[in-house]
Chains A and B, each alone.
Chain A
Amino acid sequence: MEYILHIFVITGIYIILSLSLNLIVGYTGLPALGHAAFMCIGAYTSSLLTLNFGFSPWVGLIIGALFATISGVIIGFPSLRLKGDYLALATFGLGVIVYSVARNWVVVTRGPMGLPGIPRFSIISYQLSETWVYLLLVTGFVLITFFVIKRIVNSPFGRISLSIREDEIAAEAMGKDTKRHKLIVFMVGAIFAGIAGSLYANYITFIDPSSFTVMESITILLMVIFGGMGSIPGSFVGATILVVFPELLRFLGMPSSIAAPTRQMIYGLLLVILMIRRPQGIMGKYRFK
């Protein structure tokens, strides 16, 4: 039971990540391959603040999301001038750089040794140490993300996103400041990724750089594409299937030295099949141009 709740918590965190990436990739059509970097910044900021400066994890979460947003601006500002596969490569590179900083800035992040003993959230003096309570918290954040993203994509702002996705020059010709718009989309995505990072760090109570590799970014992107580009229910479906399905390998009695590469192989194969057969995903409306 505890195990099933644990899977639900992890699924919830990935839903937040997929929804926020879907806004960037599926709705605005920007191929961002570095989403784990924002998650990493959120996770490390909140963990370091709570561990070293005794901040409450709630404050850590907020400042972590803030830092992720700021990094979204720093990353987005130069790279959003690029288009298509060059933008993909640049965001990918920024993912590598953030990972590299987490791994090599040993004085602050303790490098590959990671940060153990991150305290969990507490309400007044009640610590959310039980998994089901944490699941409620994560569900709350999933709902917030869902409503915010839904509100955004159904607003005039969201329609600008769609117009940039379909034809950026036309959007510009209509007098829309597409550069500014793309930057805001990037920032919104980064906020939620930062929150997801904090939630993850406080739940597992341990983080190290290996949780935020570029492979992680590709996995989140795979969730978005698999579920459906530009589809909110799609992100729920994609994240859920891709978190739950590999767990089934565990029940086949595979040792982890076989299960880990097998899981990755399934992801790789899935990505290939999707690209050949259905690049817009199960419920998607958009394929990369």
Chain B
Amino acid sequence: MINQLVLNGIIAGSIYALIAIGFTVIYRTVKFFHFAHGVVYTAGAYLAYTIVNSLSVNVQSPMVISYWFLAVLVGVVGAGVLGIGIDKFLYHPLRERKASNLIFLLASFGVFIFIQNLIQLIYGAQILTIRTGPVKEGHLFLGAVITDIQIIILVTSCLLSVALFLFLKRTRFGKAMRAVSDDSIGASVVGISPEKTITISFAVGSALAGIAGILISLETNIEPTMGFNAILKGIIASIIGGIGSIPGAFAGGFFLGIAENLGIWKISGGWKDAIAFLILIIFLLFRPQGIMGRREE
């Protein structure tokens, strides 16, 4: 039982980590809570669903791989474009006005509510399923059952996290991003365009949210409201990991996933959200810098 709970926590944690890392990539350059990140995740899942559904993929056909490739491509690129769009049409004018963080957060809520309900209007409120073929029996691993899809989720999440970490550490863009994050005026003095850097970080972060959305749609059903919980968990994971830190977001995601799944050991699964927020509030009060963050005033 406890092994299974930990495993479920790790799988949930892989998704949280992806969302949290995408959120963190954006947070580092813009320094406010991009709540609408959650609806980008939803959009990624629905775009992939639309492709798979409209091509009416026959799961037995050998062409299925290329269809899946197309679905993932559309989902990820679509999510990236949506992220850039939100930045250009919403956050850019706010930046011009030097709006406060709270105004950014509330505007972000607004765009979240708008797009989520747009999706509900188009696809309906009911849950939808992406057919991934016949249900296969999971593998037994250390006393817990793990399915093929769960392995894909875990591996993808870890690989992407490491890749992104190295990308930000080693490349010019990563350096530019850190420069903008530390001092955007200073960065522009030495020839780094803050606006361009922000656009790229929205593209990268949103693409990660799209991937997370597609991964979860393989594992469970999708519904228009799925992004709400996802972004809450993503933000909580980022904060408990140490806001602004990529390894922190990764660790925070897994920590949160495991903690909330162990938390429901003796009680019903409906309490997960309450447990997650309880963890957040405890962290905010006693360790606001998170597991890996530095304290800054």
B280 within 8 A of A: yes
Instruction: Please tell me if the beta carbons of A272 and B270 are within 8 angstroms of each other in the complex.
Output: no
Taking A104-B268, A272-B114 as contacts, is the C-beta distance between A96 and B107 under 8 angstroms?
no
Other-chain residue from B90, B113, B121, B273 in contact with A267 (beta carbon distance below 8 A): B113
CA distance A270 to B117 in the complex (A): 14
CA distance A261 to B113 in the complex (A): 9
Contacts of B278 in A (CB 8 A): 97
Closest to A100 in B: B274
Stretch at the interface among A79-87, A118-126, A244-252: A79-87
Interface of B is mostly: helix
Instruction: Please tell me if the beta carbons of B106 and A275 are within 8 angstroms of each other in the complex.
Output: yes
Taking A79-B281, A82-B284, A275-B99 as contacts, is the C-beta distance between A288 and B106 under 8 angstroms?
yes
Size bracket, chain B contacts = 35 or more
Other-chain residue from B94, B100, B114 in contact with A265 (beta carbon distance below 8 A): B114
CA distance A271 to B121 in the complex (A): 19
CA distance A78 to B288 in the complex (A): 13
CA distance A96 to B232 in the complex (A): 10
Instruction: Please tell me if the beta carbons of B109 and A85 are within 8 angstroms of each other in the complex.
Output: no
Taking A84-B101, A279-B99 as contacts, is the C-beta distance between A268 and B277 under 8 angstroms?
no
Contacts of A96 in B (CB 8 A): 232, 273-274, 277
CA distance A142 to B66 in the complex (A): 63
B55 within 8 A of A: no
- 11 extra A-B contacts, CB within 8 A, seeds A100-B271, A100-B273, A100-B274: A85-B101, A85-B105, A90-B284, A94-B277, A96-B277, A258-B121, A265-B117, A272-B107, A279-B103, A288-B103, A289-B100
Contacts of B41 in A (CB 8 A): none
A residues whose Cβ falls under 8 Å from a Cβ of B? 31, 78-79, 81-82, 84-86, 88-90, 93-94, 96-97, 100-101, 103-104, 215, 218, 221, 225, 257-258, 261-262, 264-265, 267-272, 274-276, 279, 287-289
Contacts of A287 in B (CB 8 A): 100, 103
Tell me the smallest distance from the CB of B36 to a CB of chain A, in Å.
Answer: 10
Instruction: Please tell me if the beta carbons of B120 and A261 are within 8 angstroms of each other in the complex.
Output: yes
CA distance A78 to B277 in the complex (A): 14
Give me 20 A-to-B residue pairs in the complex whose CB atoms sit less than 8 angstroms apart, sorted by A's number: A78-B285, A84-B101, A85-B102, A86-B288, A89-B33, A96-B277, A97-B273, A100-B273, A101-B274, A104-B271, A261-B125, A262-B121, A265-B117, A265-B118, A265-B121, A268-B114, A272-B111, A275-B99, A275-B106, A275-B107
CA distance A279 to B103 in the complex (A): 7
Closest to A103 in B: B270
B112 within 8 A of A: yes
Instruction: Please tell me if the beta carbons of A276 and B90 are within 8 angstroms of each other in the complex.
Output: yes
Instruction: Please tell me if the beta carbons of A271 and B273 are within 8 angstroms of each other in the complex.
Output: no
CA distance A271 to B111 in the complex (A): 8
CA distance A267 to B239 in the complex (A): 28
Give residues of chain B (195-224) contacting chain A, Cβ–Cβ below 8 Å. Answer: none
Closest to A101 in B: B274
Other-chain residue from A93, A269, A272, A276 in contact with B277 (beta carbon distance below 8 A): A93
Contacts of A84 in B (CB 8 A): 100-102
B180 within 8 A of A: no
Closest to B285 in A: A78
Contacts of B102 in A (CB 8 A): 31, 84-85, 88, 288-289
What does the 1/0 interface line of B31-45 toward A look like (CB < 8 Å)?
Answer: 011000000000000
B124 within 8 A of A: yes
What does the 1/0 interface line of B47-69 toward A look like (CB < 8 Å)?
Answer: 00000000000000000000000
Contacts of B113 in A (CB 8 A): 215, 218, 264-265, 267-268, 271
Instruction: Please tell me if the beta carbons of A268 and B273 are within 8 angstroms of each other in the complex.
Output: no
Interface centre among B113, B125, B235 (most CB of A within 10 A): B113
Other-chain residue from B94, B121, B288 in contact with A275 (beta carbon distance below 8 A): B94
B186 within 8 A of A: no
Contacts of B120 in A (CB 8 A): 261
Contacts of B138 in A (CB 8 A): none
**Sorted from nearest, which 10 A-B pairs have the closest CB atoms?**
A271-B110, A268-B114, A268-B113, A93-B277, A275-B107, A100-B274, A272-B110, A288-B102, A261-B117, A104-B270
B93 within 8 A of A: yes
CA distance A218 to B33 in the complex (A): 16
Interface centre among A82, A103, A271, A287 (most CB of B within 10 A): A271
CA distance A104 to B273 in the complex (A): 11
Interface centre among A79, A265, A268 (most CB of B within 10 A): A268
Tell me the smallest distance from the CB of A242 to a CB of chain B, in Å.
Answer: 13
Instruction: Please tell me if the beta carbons of B114 and A275 are within 8 angstroms of each other in the complex.
Output: no
Contacts of B277 in A (CB 8 A): 93-94, 96-97
CA distance A289 to B101 in the complex (A): 8
CA distance A81 to B286 in the complex (A): 11
Contacts of B94 in A (CB 8 A): 275-276
Other-chain residue from B93, B125, B281 in contact with A78 (beta carbon distance below 8 A): B281
